[in-house]
Structure formats: structure tokens, C-alpha cells
Structure 1
Amino acid sequence: MKYSLTLIVFTILLNFSYGQRTQELVKKIDSLFLEDASQEAFDLAYELVQNGNEDPLILHRLGMLYIEFPINQPQKALTHLQRAQSLTTDDSLRNGIHLDIAQVYYSMMKYDDALEKLEILLDQEYYRASALTISMSIFSDQGQYEKAIEIAREALALEPYLLPTIVNTGFLFLNLEQPDSALAYFERADELKPNDPVIINNIGFAYYKKGNLSKSLDLINESISIYPTNSYAYRNRAYVLTELDKIDEACNDINKAIELDYLNRYGDDILELKNSNCK
């Protein structure tokens, strides 16, 4: 499971100089988001805007939250971000929103539009690593894994602790069937953010790719115990259970993943597994 790129945006835009009330509201929204309470963060930002608050930072936060699952309304995200950009007089915030708009285009799979926005930011030191990370994800989605890894390494040379970049680089190596390299990146991420269920799940799947089914199953079970609504973990566990010839349990996990909206979030690859094993 890839790591959300929205985390980058919420991290890089915390310190602009605005009025005390705005700063307090933004810090509250950000705190909720970073504590995995995205719906509560969205509700707060939405209520503020509905009540007439047109502060660019509040509009920005609402725009970014519109692309979070399960809200996932990129067109509304784009509308609010463009409104925020038109209202701000802060050049730094304007550039930050430029990055965010590229992120929204990426989420809409409008890759050329996203790359065009990112091109403007690649020469700006403050935004270069984040712009490279989104570029990496675009080339990854297009199957250009070697190019994506090259971009990722450049981003990490600039920002060695950029967590989404580290995790998603691990995914690139999984796509290239290089689980040892993938595991190195996932374990590096685990050192930065211990006990994160997404990272634990990814480590577990890397061990599956290495053929260590027992360790893989233990780690994916641990991930599910922390984050029981992660459809990707059920998908991964289904692969392990299939290899262990526990077909009924695997089919239960496949159905659970689909119930938890795997198809809309990650694609239809799980259907091949279901059709091959489940009656």
C-alpha cells in the first residue's frame, strides 16, 4: 500500500504568518489530519468555509481534504485550491498550492497536467523534493519504474527523511521483483515511524515476495490488528493464505477487501485472485 502524498503538503505548509485565529484553526485541522482523523478535519474546514470563512489557508486545507479517502472528490478539491490561490498574496503559499494542484491532477490521472505544474517548482529548492516525489508516483503509475526510482533517489538526496518517498520507493522495488531492496526501504520507514500499520503491512508483503510466508503472515496480521479497515492488508493476506493452501480463508479475505472498497481505491487486480481461487 502506497503512502499518502497528502502528508507532504500538510507538513510543508504549517508555518506561514497569518492572524492568530487563523493559525489556531489551521493547527487544529492539521492536528486532526495528522492523527488520522481526516473526516473530523474535513468537517471542521467545511463548516468554516460554509460559514463564510475565505481565508486562503482554510480553503487550502479543505481543498486537500477533498482528495482524502473516503471523501475523494478531486474536482471540488481543485475548485477550493484554485480559489485559495486566487485570494492569497503570499508567494510561498501560492507556490505551495501550485504543488497541491499538481497532486490533485495526479489523483485524477491527468498526468501531463500534473507534470506541467510540477515543472515550475523543480527549480525551487523548498519544493523540489516534494515535486520530485509526485513526479516519481506519476512515472510509477505509468510503469516506468526505473525512471521513478531515479527520481526517488534524487528526492531522498534532498530530503532523506521524506516518509512517503521512502515507502513508495520500496513499492517500486516490489514492482521490479526486488524484495530485498524493497524491504530495506520499508524498514527504513519503520525506523522513522514505528508501529505504523501501512508500513508493517508493506514489510509483510515484502517477506511474502521473499518466500518467508510465516513471517509475512505474522506481520500482516499485526497490521490488521492495528488497522482493521485496511483493504490492502486483506488483499496481501489473501496472497499469503493462497500460497499456504488455505483457500477458504483467502477467499474470505478477498471478499473482505472488496467489501472495504479495494476496487475503487486500488484497482481490480484482486478479481484475478478471486476468479482463480474462489467459487
Structure 2
Amino acid sequence: MKTIMTLVLLLVTLFAAAQQTDQDLLLFEQAETLVAKGKYDEALTIVNRLLISNHDNADYFDLCGTIYLGKHIADTAIYNFNTAIMLDPENPYKYSHRANAFLSVQMPGESLEDFTQAIKLIKDNDTLKYQMIGNRGSARQMARDFQGAYQDFKTALDFDSLNIQALISMGSILDNLGKPREGIAYLEKAVRLSPNEVAAISNLGFRYTNIGEYQKAIDMFNKVLELSPNDGVAYNNRGYVKYKKNDLKEALKDIERAIKYYPANSYAFRNRALIYFAMKQPDKACVDLQRAIQLGFTPMYGNEVQELLEKHCLLNGTH
């Protein structure tokens, strides 16, 4: 997400409207700076002020969409991107921005269409074109078109073999294609090239977990937590590895930290339930399974929690 947001800000800067007055341009640049610092509400105040005097400026609506996307209000972000595209329908970057918004709310079909349109419209910037091809691969992956995603990531890497995001994505898609060792090689390359890239380190740790190389996985999650001490997902992943190693006491500590920092993570409650079952505490486990269901585990990850609930809790009368 950080990579996408950085690209969005760069593109907005490059294509700010030439018709702006000097004062408006100054305010627009100030809003961009605030967005880059994560000060979305302050930036939104400025953009709304600009829109009052110029409600036909596509770049203002585009930046407004970027702000709402940063605030995780995707429907309003998409509305603003729609308006920006209506006002500037030949601008590839605005399609790319809306594509990212669609991706954030798991609408891969719409995202795929927008990335494809953006790629068609780009005339003279190969670097951005191939970045968009890589991003389109993420939409294909979300749509479970793994072979299509692989081809997009490969195309992006053929253009730039040092593209960190494409390397990370290739590592993921090869796992989907049943080639986990090849995927790990791409992730290891990404970590060598960018030792502090949290997404690469986290993905590598996750892949090590899947092939049973638990100490390597723990080393990766330790590194993530050095870089990001309050990362609830990293605590959750490390806790699961410790559970697999039967280090239940330490696993429980990590999962409880994960829930503290990311209380909406349904997977953390699933993992804590597994630990409680292993500790012979089924009542606590069943409460966590119910919580995982409430937080939306099933539509995101499948029926595992529901099956555990039916097997260990409902059929046995444990609630």
C-alpha cells in the first residue's frame, strides 16, 4: 500500500492542472505535502476549499480521492476518482488511481479494467507503464487468475529485474502456482536488494512457515518487529510459527500482542483458538472461534473456522 500511495502522489504532482492560478497551485502543493505526511483531514480542508472555486478541476477530485483512500473510506474515494475520470477521460493515471481503490475493496474485475485502460493510454513513460502492468497482476491474482498474474509480474520484471514490488508479487504468485521454492527465491532476492522492505520480509517469513522452515520464519518476523514494533500481523505470524513448534506459552504471548495491536484481525483469533485447543482449554477456544467468525474470517479465508466451531464447539455443546 505504501508503494501505491507514493506512486499516486508522484503522478498527481506531475499532472497538476496548468490552468491553476499561482495561489491555487500553492494550495494544491500544500495539500499534497500534507497527504505525504498522512495529515489527511488537513489536506481535505484545503482541497475542499479549492473545489469551491473550481469544481471542474480533475486533479482536485483526483487528490480528494487519494485522501479518502488514505483515510480508508473507499466508496468516497471511488466517487471522487469517477468524477476525475469524467473530467479528464484520457488521463491514464486517474484510471490507475481508481484501479488501486477498487483493489483496496477487493473488486478485482473493476480494478483490472482500469489498469488495462491506463496501460493503453500511456504513451511516453515506460517505467510507469510497467509498474501498472505489475499492479494489474495484483488484480488478476485477487481474481484468482494466477497464470495471468504471473505473466504480468514476469513482464514487469523483464523490463526491470530490480523491481521490488514485482519480485514480492512473483514470490506470492508462484506459491499459488504450486512452486513455493521458486517463489522463495524471488522473495530472498527482494530482501537482499531491500533489506528493510517489510512487505518482502513478511512474505518471506510466511513462505518459510508454509514449507516448515520455522526458525527462518521466526528470524524474518523478528526482523519485521525490529522495523515495526507495533505490527500486529507480524506478532500473529510469529505466534503461529511458535504454535507449530509447540512453544505454546510463547505463542500465546505473541497472539495476545497481535490482538492488542490489531484487534480486528480475525486470523489472530483463529490462531489463539488453536493454541487454546492445544492447551486443553476448549471453552476459551470456542469463544475465539466465534469472534473470528464475527470479524469476517469465512469470506476472507474460507470455512476452516466454521468447521472447527462445528466439530469442537457446537456438536459438543461448548459455547
Per the normalisation by structure 2, the TM-score is 0.75
Q: How does 1:242-257 map to 2 (within 5 A)?
A: 242-257=277-292
Match for residue 74 of structure 1? 108
How far, CA to CA, are the matches of 2:194 and 2:227 in structure 1?
13
Q: After TM superposition, give the deviation of residue 14 of structure 1 in Å.
A: 4.4
| Structure 2 residue identity aligned to 1:64 | N
SS at 1:67's partner residue?
helix
Q: After TM superposition, give the deviation of residue 204 of structure 1 in Å.
A: 1.6
Q: After TM superposition, give the deviation of residue 59 of structure 1 in Å.
A: 2.8
Structure 1, residues 240-269: CA drift from partner, whole Å, max 9, x if none? 111111111111111211221111112223
Match for residue 58 of structure 2? none
Q: After TM superposition, give the deviation of residue 181 of structure 1 in Å.
A: 1.1
Match for residue 4 of structure 2? 9
Comparing 143-152 and 216-225, the one that deviates more: 143-152
124, 142, 149: which one pairs with 1:107?
Answer: 142
Match for residue 46 of structure 1? 79
How far, CA to CA, are the matches of 1:264 and 1:134 in structure 2?
22
Q: How does 1:102-141 map to 2 (within 5 A)?
A: 102-125=137-160, 128-141=163-176
Match for residue 276 of structure 1? 311
Comparing 86-95 and 241-250, the one that deviates more: 86-95
Q: Could you say what the CA RMSD is over the residues aligned between the two structures, in angstroms?
A: 2.9
| Structure 2 residue identity aligned to 1:84 | A
| Structure 1 residue identity aligned to 2:282 | I
Match for residue 95 of structure 2? 59
Change (3 A) 1:103 1:29: farther
| Structure 2 residue identity aligned to 1:144 | K
Q: How does 1:145-160 map to 2 (within 5 A)?
A: 145-160=180-195
CA contact (8 A) 1:42 1:66 kept: no
SS at 1:66's partner residue?
helix
CA contact (8 A) 2:81 2:98 kept: no
Matched, 1:197 2:228: no
SS at 2:10's partner residue?
coil
How far, CA to CA, are the matches of 1:14 and 1:178 in structure 2?
39
How far, CA to CA, are the matches of 1:83 and 1:269 in structure 2?
38
CA contact (8 A) 1:85 1:94 kept: yes
Q: After TM superposition, give the deviation of residue 114 of structure 1 in Å.
A: 1.0
Q: After TM superposition, give the deviation of residue 123 of structure 1 in Å.
A: 2.8
| Structure 1 residue identity aligned to 2:111 | A
CA contact (8 A) 1:85 1:97 kept: yes
How far, CA to CA, are the matches of 1:152 and 1:186 in structure 2?
14
Match for residue 3 of structure 1? none
CA contact (8 A) 2:67 2:77 kept: no
How far, CA to CA, are the matches of 1:222 and 1:229 in structure 2?
13
Gaps of 5+ in 2: 17-24, 41-65, 315-319
Change (3 A) 1:46 1:237: same
Matched, 1:266 2:301: yes
Change (3 A) 1:74 1:138: same
Q: After TM superposition, give the deviation of residue 273 of structure 1 in Å.
A: 2.7
CA contact (8 A) 1:96 1:127 kept: no
SS at 1:39's partner residue?
coil
Change (3 A) 1:278 1:35: farther
Change (3 A) 1:233 1:35: farther
How far, CA to CA, are the matches of 1:10 and 1:126 in structure 2?
22
Figure out how many residues of one structure are paired with residues of the other and give that number.
272
Match for residue 35 of structure 2? 28
Comparing 250-259 and 120-129, the one that deviates more: 120-129
| Identity score, percent | 25
Larger radius of gyration: 2
| Structure 2 residue identity aligned to 1:18 | F
Q: Which has the higher contact order (CA 8 A, sep 6+)?
A: 1
Comparing 50-59 and 132-141, the one that deviates more: 50-59
Match for residue 119 of structure 2? 85
Gaps of 5+ in 1: 1-5
Matched, 1:171 2:200: no
CA contact (8 A) 1:46 1:62 kept: no
CA contact (8 A) 1:67 1:104 kept: yes
| Structure 1 residue identity aligned to 2:15 | Y
Matched, 1:217 2:252: yes
